[in-house]
Structure 1
Amino acid sequence: MANVTATPANGTRCSRDYQTTQVLFPLLYTVLFFIGLITNSLAMRIFFQIHSKSNFIIFLKNTVISDLLMILTFPFKIFSDAELVTGWLRTFVCQVTSVIFYFTMYISISFLGLITIDRYQKTTSPFKTSSPNNLLGAKVLSIIIWAFMFLLSLPNMILTNQRPKDKNVKKCSFLKSEFGLVWHEIVNYICQVIFWINFLIIVVCYTLITKELYRSYVRTRGVGKVPRKKVNVKVFIIIAVFFICFVPFHFARIPYTLSQTRDVFDCSAENTLFYVKESTLWLTSLNACLDPFIYFFLCKSFKNSLISMFRCPNSVTSAAQVNRKKRQNSCEPSEETPM
């Protein structure tokens, strides 16, 4: 079915061509699902052989858990978008898996911000080690982030409680109660604040990191040493992932949310916002496949364990033991810092 009639907020009928979203996006999400499931399962297996002896490792472990949860929602979106599900499963997608998807997205964004702060600290103080109090603080902060996002997201599940009037309903907003629409809009604004706070953190920290790297470049050039340019590039993988995956979606999200909850756009504008939202949403999903590159390039113990595992498939545990003996199991500052 290529053309489906949707009912916007003003109650009028609006025709929309779903052919692209029924074929192209399910295929794209299928690719992400298999790649992301393999890479993140592997990352989790390796990380939980490594002791949490630095804030960096704690934040990375939380990120990989968040990414795996997001990836597990992909099959539901694939079947829903491809119209291979019954009405009750479409309701489940709107009520549960879509909420989990956004829940994990903002957890990942929050931890990318914390990882960036940690990288800045390692750049300015490369030999400073994490104290037990700092590690406890990182763990408590991680729990607070998960709890806050859960409490923010739970009402979206509870308030998606309306029976669909049309079996071909496409928009999850049609399944929300009146207050559910209000809460959905409030949550979107809160999530925008979360994004922009982390956006500013990342931009400011990387501006300072760049200045520090330039000073280091001048110093090394002055003593006749060759600057370690490839290491400098590695540290910028975080900001690259952030801008590729999250920035486009957040420029599109507010107008799309308004098109769902208020009568402010005509039919043509609603359709355009829908396709822009779906395209940029796929980019946010790509984050789950790009985060393992952060682990590989910025955490030497992860990299060593991964290489050892491929050399000997059953050697993850022994590789971790070797890393511990070499005191690499916490991603030591000398291995992580771009300096």
Structure 2
Amino acid sequence: YLFLCSTPAGLIFLGGDENNTYDSYCRFHFDNWTITLVPVYILLTSVLGIVFNVFVLMIFCFNKKPWTVPEIYLSNLAAADLALMCSLPLWAVYVFKRFNWTFGLFMCKVFNESLIMNSNCSIYFLAMVSIDRYLALVHPLSLRRMRETLFAKLGCLLVWTLGFILSVPTFIYWDTKSDNSIKNVTVCFVNYPSSTLNLTFNSIIFVFSLIIPISIISFCTVNIIKTLRSRVMNSLNAERTNHKATIMVLAVLVAFLICWVPYHLLRIPYVLLEVGILTECKVRYIIHICLQIFSYLAVFNSVLNPILHVIVGKKFQQKVQRHFKLIKKETTL
């Protein structure tokens, strides 16, 4: 089997232009690890992500008390990550079938729109969580009103709306096409009518999916750490608490940077490739391999989110203990 270089592979939110003249001769063979190991990794990531995020939502939903502002953001984050994880099995099948899309044009559009919408929502809910922690620790009194549940709900509505708007072009321009060089193979790819539109849309996604959220998260993280370090430590216990909180905040930032920054930075050479500035097959092959690896790394962030933001927290652990105590009590009656 041969792979047409202009054909997207994996979690491709990037543009392609089927009118490129060099596509007709630029081809390379499938890598064995892509067909054998990648579907297993994707399915394992999907299962872990579904289990962790369902667990988080279950504990929040069964809690009888009104949700706090952090719980509103974290529950929406878990919902976005869960929706993203539920889409991955189709991706695994697509890779296992050597990138032969057998689910039709409508599912091609819906599948990729779901990936794009929920990944962007997940990133912005991370930003909202960072903002809430920034307000709670750095400005606990002066900006207290901004942490009301009404603002949190409006913020979540804004994030879902933004995620939907950013995914609309996906539903419009994603398409299916039979590869004439390979019998009975149909690819699911993004087909922009012009290189200008390709460059414009990818620039917008780059700014809204990386530059803006990473600026927000980094600003909040730096100021939270400064505030934690500047507090007077009255006891050893307070120092340990401060140290743990600092490590946790840094872990969240590092996980986000490692998972998402490489993938979005790859947009730059990919767009240069698709608009015809980079044309060598070797370059296309390197970008394809990097895109595979960085895509799989990006979706793993949805597995880390419920662990870093919720499950390790003491308040959540207390909710879990109360929940299982209640279940045990009901079963003994």
Per the normalisation by structure 1, the TM-score is: 0.79
Q: Give the equivalent residue in structure 1 for 2:34.
A: 21
- Partner of 2:62, secondary structure, is coil
Code of the residue aligned with 1:178 in structure 2: it is P
Q: Give the equivalent residue in structure 1 for 2:185.
A: 168
Are 1:46 and 2:45 an aligned pair? no
Q: Give the equivalent residue in structure 2 for 1:255.
A: 269
Code of the residue aligned with 1:301 in structure 2: it is K
Are 1:205 and 2:204 an aligned pair? no
Rounded Cα–Cα distance in structure 2 between residues aligned with 1:297 and 1:162 = 43
Rounded Cα–Cα distance in structure 2 between residues aligned with 1:192 and 1:316 = 51
Q: Give the equivalent residue in structure 1 for 2:316.
A: 302
% of aligned pairs identical?
21
Rounded Cα–Cα distance in structure 2 between residues aligned with 1:129 and 1:52 = 21
Structure 1 unaligned regions, length at least 5: 319-339
Q: 1:86 to 1:16 in 2, by over 3 A?
A: closer
Number of equivalences: 308
Rounded Cα–Cα distance in structure 2 between residues aligned with 1:81 and 1:124 = 46
Code of the residue aligned with 1:26 in structure 2: it is P
Rounded Cα–Cα distance in structure 2 between residues aligned with 1:164 and 1:119 = 49
Q: CA RMSD in A?
A: 3.0
Deviates more, 1:265-274 or 1:136-145: 136-145
The answer on whether the counterparts of 2:109 and 2:170 sit within 8 Å (CA) in structure 1 is yes
The answer on whether the counterparts of 1:305 and 1:316 sit within 8 Å (CA) in structure 2 is no
Code of the residue aligned with 1:267 in structure 2: it is C
Pairing 1:235-274 to 2, within 5 Å after superposition = 235-260=249-274, 262=276, 264-274=278-288
Rounded Cα–Cα distance in structure 2 between residues aligned with 1:76 and 1:316 = 41
The answer on whether the counterparts of 1:308 and 1:316 sit within 8 Å (CA) in structure 2 is no
Are 1:33 and 2:50 an aligned pair? no
The answer on whether the counterparts of 2:99 and 2:187 sit within 8 Å (CA) in structure 1 is no
Pairing 1:128-139 to 2, within 5 Å after superposition = 134-139=148-153
Per the normalisation by structure 2, the TM-score is: 0.81
Structure 2 unaligned regions, length at least 5: 7-17
Pairing 1:307-322 to 2, within 5 Å after superposition = 307-309=321-323, 314=327
Code of the residue aligned with 1:242 in structure 2: it is F
Q: Provide Cα deviations, 1:52-77, integer angstroms capped at 9, x if missing partner.
A: 54322111111011001100111000
Q: Give the equivalent residue in structure 1 for 2:3.
A: 4
Code of the residue aligned with 1:172 in structure 2: it is F
Rounded Cα–Cα distance in structure 2 between residues aligned with 1:23 and 1:272 = 19
The answer on whether the counterparts of 2:100 and 2:187 sit within 8 Å (CA) in structure 1 is no
Q: 1:280 to 1:84 in 2, by over 3 A?
A: closer
Q: Give the equivalent residue in structure 1 for 2:97.
A: 83
Q: Give the equivalent residue in structure 2 for 1:59.
A: 73
Rounded Cα–Cα distance in structure 2 between residues aligned with 1:283 and 1:253 = 15
